[in-house]
A and B are shown apart, each in its own frame.
Chain A
């Protein structure tokens, strides 16, 4: 079963992260890389990506004739997707365990961030377009 693990945060959280020391960022990234490496070794890794800065985000709606109308304005309080992992695991519990490891990645002073990670299973009732 494929799951996507969604790491979201607010603008305030991103501003806070940008104030971390380089050493703290490196320690955080080292744990995430280690998780990715273990998932690759266990054959559960499908994909992971971080998303670029919020200022590059746009919301698009199709108007008449499908012409895109873009809007770059977001309320300060909205949660944004920061990054995700796609994993292929045998059970939901395994997906939760991996999300728990990600949530426990260290933040400032090496303290776990305990970030909430949203776990969503891929639907199987309609088309799947993945290569």
Chain B
């Protein structure tokens, strides 16, 4: 079963650019180690970090499908900072991996305990919708 693990943060990067270099290195090393373990176990489909929200755009189709872009976001909105797509046998395994990602170290090495949203990926649209 495929799952997507979504790491959301409030506002731009939650201050990550202001972390000490050592803290940032420890955080990235933790994430790279997690990704390596998932790759070794054959459970990693993909993992990506997203650029900061200042580059994010909201697009709607205008007349004739011309894109209308909007870069203004309320400060309170949660932003997707990155995600993992994993292929695991059980939901419990997906939750265990999410918990490991949640415990990634922040400033001073303390676990961030970030909330990670876990969603099953649909295999395909139901036949009646095709």
> A residues within 8 Å of B by Cβ?
2, 4-6, 22, 25-26, 29, 33, 47, 49-52, 56-63, 66-70, 81, 92, 96-97, 99-104, 112, 114-131
Which of B39, B59, B116, B120 meets A52, CB within 8 Å? B120
Question: What's the tally of chain B residues with a CB closer than 8 Å to chain A?
Answer: 61
Min CB–CB distance B65 → chain A (angstroms):
5
Q: Secondary structure of the A side of the interface?
A: mixed
Are A122's CB and B51's CB within 8 A?
Answer: yes
Cα distance A12–B32 in the bound complex, in angstroms: 38
Closest residue of chain A to B118, judged by CB?
A58
Known: A26-B130, A29-B130, A51-B119. 5 other contacts (CB 8 A): A49-B2, A49-B85, A57-B117, A119-B58, A119-B59
B22 within 8 A of partner (CB) = no
A22-B128 contact in complex given A50-B122, A56-B120, A59-B116, C-beta closer than 8 Å: yes
| Choice from A26, A59, A66 contacting B117 with Cβ under 8 Å | A59
Chain A residues with Cβ below 8 Å from B48 are: 2, 4, 122-123, 128-130
The residues of A that contact B52 with a CB separation of less than 8 Å are 123
Residues of B within 8 A of A126 (CB): 28, 31, 49
Q: Which B-chain residue is minimally distant from A22 (CB atoms)?
A: B128
Once the chains bind, are B120 and A63 in contact (CB under 8 Å)? no
The CA-CA distance from A62 to B79 in the complex, in Å, is: 20
Whether, in the assembled complex, B96 has its beta carbon less than 8 Å from a beta carbon of chain A, the answer is: yes
